[in-house]
Structure 1
Amino acid sequence: MSVALEGHCGIITGAGSGIGRGLAEAFIAAGAQVAILEADAAAAEQAAEELGASAVAYGGVDVTDPEAVEAAVGAAHERFGQLDFLVNNAGIRHEAPFLEHELEPWKRTLDVNLTGVYIVGQAVARRMVDRPGRILNIASIAGLLALRNRAAYIASKAGVIGLTKAMAFELGEQGICVNAIGPGVIETPLIAHYFQDPDRTKLIVDSIPLGRWGHPEDLAGPAIFLCSPAAAYVTGQFLCVDGGWVSGKGY
């Protein structure tokens, strides 16, 4: 069974930069057409222009806004005539000690990272009526492990893992497979400040058995597989793509 995506069309949220941008490039290289749903309209347009004719931008779309999501997903479905995959990648992070974590960033983080997956997932799944669709949710190893100063982010990503299982359980009768991957430390603009701190970079590398942090292209293979015909009997699963970080605490 092929892992190629030739003739497949779908949506990647938050694909204006970082992980989403890398996945869009990889999916197109595998033969897919990709609709970029992105809050930053300029970033969406730039990404689509750089990715070429196989990409289309739907910018200014906040994944927490059901009406905006419905309009963009409907437009993508009409343009392509089908939706074979969705990658729920859009996400934010807020860092603060638990006792100093304010309520508004808590709510916003859960809204974008968890409720956004629910909103976009519903809109896309309703259009995967006559074909075996694939939904891939981008969670995090933070959904399994506690990290300092990231209470909202951790709660949201743990929720994504649980929601993935719930979606898989209910959408299986439609032939839709729903899975999640948990990136480890991936070098993107979202965490660029990590790599400007020598002590933090050493801590990161020392915590990863493979001895390096990840790059967006490290996620491409697992993501393409889980969105391809080759993953036709894989659903409800959570795969860590972290260089081995969660394999053990060490000393």
Structure 2
Amino acid sequence: MTRFDNKVVIVTGSGSGIGAATARRFAKEGARIVLNGRTQSKLDRVAADLDPERTLVHAGDVSDQTSAEALIAAAVDRFGRLEVLVNNAGVVPTGPFLEASVEDWRKVMAIDVDGVFFCTRAALPHLLETKGSIVNVSSVSGLGGDWNMSFYNAAKGAVTNLTRSLALELGGKGVRVNAVNPGLTFTDLTEDMKGDEELMRKFADRIPLGRAAEPEEVADVIAFLASHDARYVTGVNLPVDGGLMASNGQPKQA
């Protein structure tokens, strides 16, 4: 498939995990890719697998307004336009509410929420011209609560509802706004969880498909939402969770 021939796609947080898989998926379908993240070496490793003539590496911190605006400007300067923005950059702080630090609160809100806000504001004039698409990477943690993840729940809840609100506001102007809400996905952020057999058993017991997701499985859904195939889909927060959110929370029974 080449659903994105010559379309320009920005993926934030694309140095690893879901972001890297998403960049590769769009590139495979013919897109011109703009890689963004805070670590140059990680971006360079992803870019090494892509066509250099169709790839721009732009390191920067999207939680900083100037940096986010520079990212959008660099993409348009290099490729002349913008069709898709994937707001993927994020961090996952954990810990009891009274023990987690104010610095952790500021960090998750800055990256997970401000980053989406700054990039979207800067990108919208260009997306309005191309009738483009925004896909935000929220989480199942933005659809319900978790134990000891209140900061992350608050941040992803903001992304979830911002997605809905922007879809209402921008639909009549030709810009679609959707989000994916992944469940447990094996990335750098969850690497330490893999070796915890008891924890993995608990997740497998709650997830109908019986396992965590691979980054590529989330990337496939992101590409769908950004594509012409989803041209009548906007305002959706789509769980990519192996069926986790299908449960009402009651325990499994024999």
Q: Determine the C-alpha separation between the residues in 1 that align with 2:222 and 2:97.
A: 32
| Deviation, structure 1 residue 103 | 1.1
Q: CA RMSD in A?
A: 1.3
Q: What TM-score results when the alignment is normalised by the length of structure 1? A: 0.95
Q: Which moved more, 1:49-58 or 1:78-87?
A: 49-58
Q: Determine the C-alpha separation between the residues in 2 that align with 1:137 and 1:131.
A: 18
Q: Determine the C-alpha separation between the residues in 2 that align with 1:140 and 1:220.
A: 14
Q: Secondary structure at the match of 1:135?
A: strand
* Deviant stretches of 4+, over 4 Å: none
Q: Secondary structure at the match of 1:51?
A: coil
Q: Secondary structure at the match of 1:180?
A: strand
Contact 1:3/1:225, CA 8 A, preserved across alignment: no
Q: Secondary structure at the match of 1:130?
A: helix
What 5-or-longer segments of structure 2 have no aligned partner? none
Identity over aligned pairs, percent? 35
Q: Determine the C-alpha separation between the residues in 2 that align with 1:172 and 1:126.
A: 14
Q: Secondary structure at the match of 2:90?
A: coil
Q: Deviations over 1:91-136 (max 9, x none)?
A: 0011111121211111110111011101101111121232210000
Contact 2:18/2:219, CA 8 A, preserved across alignment: no
Question: What code does the residue aligned with 1:179 have?
Answer: N
Q: Determine the C-alpha separation between the residues in 2 that align with 1:194 and 1:52.
A: 34
Question: What code does the residue aligned with 1:57 have?
Answer: V
| Equivalence for 2:96 | 97
Contact 2:2/2:28, CA 8 A, preserved across alignment: no
Question: What code does the residue aligned with 1:117 have?
Answer: V
Contact 1:177/1:236, CA 8 A, preserved across alignment: yes
- Relative to structure 1, the CA distance from residue 28 to residue 99 in structure 2 (aligned partners, 3 Å threshold; closer, same or farther) is same
| Deviation, structure 1 residue 52 | 2.8
| Equivalence for 2:124 | 125
| Deviation, structure 1 residue 174 | 2.4
Q: Secondary structure at the match of 1:126?
A: helix
| Deviation, structure 1 residue 3 | 7.4
Q: What TM-score results when the alignment is normalised by the length of structure 2? A: 0.94
Q: Determine the C-alpha separation between the residues in 2 that align with 1:202 and 1:250.
A: 17
Q: Secondary structure at the match of 2:185?
A: coil
Q: Deviations over 1:30-84 (max 9, x none)?
A: 111110111112211221122232322101x111111111112101111111100
Contact 1:178/1:236, CA 8 A, preserved across alignment: yes
| Equivalence for 1:188 | 187
What 5-or-longer segments of structure 1 have no aligned partner? none
Q: Determine the C-alpha separation between the residues in 2 that align with 1:192 and 1:46.
A: 19
Contact 2:90/2:111, CA 8 A, preserved across alignment: yes
| Equivalence for 2:138 | 139
Q: Matched residue pairs, number?
A: 249
Contact 1:3/1:224, CA 8 A, preserved across alignment: no
